[in-house]
Amino acid sequence: MTRMTQPENKGLWAWIFPGQGSQKVGMGRRLMAHSGAAKRVFDEASDAVGMDLARLCLEGPIETLTATENAQPAIVTCSVACLALLKERGIEPAAVAGHSVGEFSALVAAGSLPLAAAVRAVRKRGQLMASVTAPGKMLAVMGLDEARVSELCRDAARHGTLVVAIHNSPQQFVLSGSLTALEQFRELAVAAGAKECVLLEVSHAFHSPLMAQVQEEWRSVVASLQLRMPRYPVVLNTTALTVKTLVCIRRSLLEQITAPVLWMQCVRALVTMGISHVLEVGDSKVVSSLARRTEPALQTMTMQDPAAVDGLRPS
């Protein structure tokens, strides 16, 4: 396989993979209709987890698809189905990164993890995260910079567990913790001039210490994964550094459920590596949009744009 290019847009490409929150009923429909390889990915993943992921993605209902134990394998499967289409064309990236559970998709893309093992792992990951009994929520804040968000988070944390859980872009962050602390943070953020401060429709305080209840059981799942060194650089969520050893991968996958997602820092790391273009590999525009907000000079593309994807070819 050779690296991807587009006639009018020469440059190094990274593939980036969406995480939870990108799911929607109907995702993957075009893929399955036009690519036998993509359909086979859905079949393999469905067999691996014992549920019809194609039907779930195409028909929902949204309440079932959004449940974290279902959304995670569905999102990874849809991304890997997109990956199958790219492989049919004989193209590959210079680097990869995935947002939260999308890191599993990135590892499949890099040859570090087989699809079946990845979807079984994220199915279990979702089940464990959904089983946490500690109450908590998540809140998105827009319009404040990282330093101000961190300062307000420290102030509000006096009222309960609270962390900056996701660094999406320079002006968009997600906090995770107890509802009391989140409400206090929202008051402080609004007073500080935040453009938007919204509680998210999620069941738990993901990427926070409140997930520690299931970390030991998750550790055994991660330890059982048969990993290989990636064929090309993988930028990890928890460090925004590229994989150097298999230990790096296991540590990132383990710590990810309680540690923040450093997506903004991952995008900056890709640019530092010389990446000038990113392709979002999945039925989503979420992470490519965040990448562009972080690094406005990046050229972005999504698999939702068939005309643009048709122009991709091996270099």
Here the tokens at position 42 are 């859905």
In DSSP terms, which residues pair with 199 in a beta bridge?
139
Rounded distance, CA 24 to CA 216, Å?
31
Residue 182 zone, left/alpha/beta (φ > 0; ψ -120 to 50; rest): alpha
- Characterize the bridge pairing of strands 2-5 and 91-92: parallel
- DSSP code per residue over 235-253: E-TTTS-B--SHHHHHHHH
Give the start-end residues of each E strand in the chain: 2-5, 12-17, 91-92, 95-98, 137-142, 162-169, 172-177, 196-199, 234-235, 275-280, 299-302, 313-314
Catalytic residue list contains 167? no
Here the tokens at position 289 are 């949009």
Q: Which of 22, 46, 100, 112 is catalytic?
A: 100
Q: Which of 99, 167, 204, 207 is catalytic?
A: 207
Catalytic residue list contains 284? no
Here the tokens at position 268 are 């900056």
Active site residues: 100, 207
